[in-house]
Amino acid sequence: MDHLPSDLDHEENPDQQELSVEDFINQASRLSEWDRALPVLEKAVSLARQQDDDRCVAQSLLQLATVEWRLSHFSDALLHANEALTGFRELGSPSDEAWTLRLLGNIYGVQGQYSAAAEYLQCAAALSRTAGDHVCLASCLNNLGIIANELGDYSNALEFFLEALTAYAPADEHIPSTLNNIASLYRQMGQQEHALEYHSQTLEFVRERAGHVLLATFLHNTAETLRQLNREAEALPLLEESLKLARHLGDHLTEMLALDSLGLVAQSLGDVPLALEHYEQGLRLAATVNHPLAQVKLLMHHGALLSNGGQKVLEEALQLTLATKLKAEEREVHDLLSTEYERTGNYESALRHTRQARRVEQELFNEAQSRRAQALQIQYDVAKTREIAENQRILNEQLKRVNEELDAFSYTISHDLRGPVRQIQGFASLLRRLLKADGNSRADRYLDLIEEAIRRLNTLIDALLKLARQSRDPLETKLVDLNALVHEIQEELNAGLEGRRVTWKIESLPLVEVDETLIRQVFVNLLSNALKYSRTREQSFVEIYAEKGDGEWTVHVRDNGVGFDSEQADKLFGVFQRLHTEDEFEGTGIGLATVRRIVIRHGGRVSAVSKLGSGAVFSITLPTSTSMK
Q: pLDDT-based confidence at 218, cuts 50/70/90?
A: very high
Averaged pLDDT of the chain: 82
Distance CA 573, CA 595 (A): 8
Distance CA 252, CA 241 (A): 14
Lowest-confidence region among 154-163, 190-199, 363-372, 568-577? 568-577
pLDDT tens sequence across 30-70: 876 778 888 889 988 888 898 888 889 999 999 999 988 88
Three-class secondary structure of residue 54 per DSSP: helix
Higher pLDDT, 372 or 313: 313
Q: Which of 362, 353, 292, 365 is nearest to 323 (CA)?
A: 292
pLDDT at site 5:
30
Backbone angles phi, psi at 608, to 5 degrees: -150, 140
* 608 sits in which H/E element: strand 605-610
* β-strand partners of 511: 481
How many other CB atoms sit within 10 Å of the CB of residue 213?
13
pLDDT at site 200:
93
pLDDT at site 236:
95
pLDDT at site 570:
66
pLDDT tens sequence across 385-404: 667 767 777 777 776 666 66
Higher pLDDT, 20 or 437: 20
Q: Which residues contact 155 (CB under 8 A, 6 or more apart)?
A: none
Higher pLDDT, 427 or 172: 172
| Rounded (5°) CA angle 574-580-581 | 110
Q: Are 403 and 471 in contact (CB under 8 A)?
A: yes
Q: Are 30 and 52 in contact (CB under 8 A)?
A: no
Q: Are 432 and 454 in contact (CB under 8 A)?
A: no
pLDDT at site 15:
44
Q: Are 622 and 514 in contact (CB under 8 A)?
A: yes
* 380 sits in which H/E element: helix 347-436
pLDDT at site 256:
92
pLDDT tens sequence across 190-216: 899 999 999 999 999 998 887 777 899
What are the b/e assignments for 423-460, b being 16+ CB within 10 Å?
eebeebeeebeeeeeeeeeeeeeebeebeeebeebeeb
Is residue 472 pLDDT above 70, yes or no?
no
Distance CA 152, CA 55 (A): 40
pLDDT at site 429:
79
Q: Which of 377, 293, 366 is nearest to 117 (CA)?
A: 377
This prediction's pTM? 0.54
Judged on CB neighbours under 10 Å (0-12, 13-18, 19+), 498 is: exposed
Distance CA 197, CA 203 (A): 10
Is residue 14 pLDDT above 60, yes or no?
no
Q: Are 491 and 521 in contact (CB under 8 A)?
A: no
Biggest distance spanned by C-alpha atoms of the chain: 137
Question: In one letter, which amino acid is 75?
Answer: S
Q: What are the respective helix, strand and coil percentages of the chain, to the nearest 5?
A: 70, 5, 20
pLDDT at site 584:
58
Calculate the dihedral angle through the C-alpha atoms of 570, 572, 576, 581, rounding to the nearest 10 degrees.
120
Share of the chain above pLDDT 70, in %: 84
Distance CA 495, CA 198 (A): 74
Is residue 287 pLDDT above 60, yes or no?
yes
First to last CA, the chain: 36
Is residue 8 pLDDT above 50, yes or no?
no
Distance CA 558, CA 616 (A): 6
SS3 sequence, 279-340?
Answer: HHHHHHHHHHCCCHHHHHHHHHHHHHHCCCCHHHHHHHHHHHHHHHCCHHHHHHHHHHHHHH
pLDDT at site 528:
86
pLDDT at site 399:
66
Winning range, highest mean pLDDT, from 317-326, 429-438, 449-458, 490-499: 317-326
* 477 sits in which H/E element: strand 477-481
Q: Which residues contact 412 (CB under 8 A, 6 or more apart)?
A: none
Rg (CA), the chain: 36
pLDDT at site 469:
60
Is residue 2 pLDDT above 80, yes or no?
no
How many other CB atoms sit within 10 Å of the CB of residue 278?
26
Winning range, highest mean pLDDT, from 114-118, 254-258, 581-585: 254-258
pLDDT at site 6:
32
Q: Which of 147, 145, 127 is nearest to 137 (CA)?
A: 127
pLDDT at site 51:
87
The stretch 601-615 carries a mean pLDDT of 84
* 108 sits in which H/E element: helix 94-110
Strands of the sheet containing 616-623, edge to edge, are 502-506, 540-548, 552-559, 616-623, 605-610
Contacts by 3-10, CB closer than 8 A, 24 or more apart: 3/32, 3/213, 4/30, 4/31, 4/32, 5/30, 6/30, 6/31, 6/32, 6/33, 6/36, 8/36, 8/40
Higher pLDDT, 409 or 228: 228
Q: pLDDT-based confidence at 405, cuts 50/70/90?
A: low
How many helices and strands, by DSSP H and E, does the chain display?
A: 22, 7
pLDDT at site 300:
92
The stretch 438-455 carries a mean pLDDT of 76
Lowest-confidence region among 223-227, 261-265, 512-516, 574-578? 574-578
pLDDT at site 105:
92
Is residue 367 pLDDT above 90, yes or no?
no
Share of the chain above pLDDT 90, in %: 31
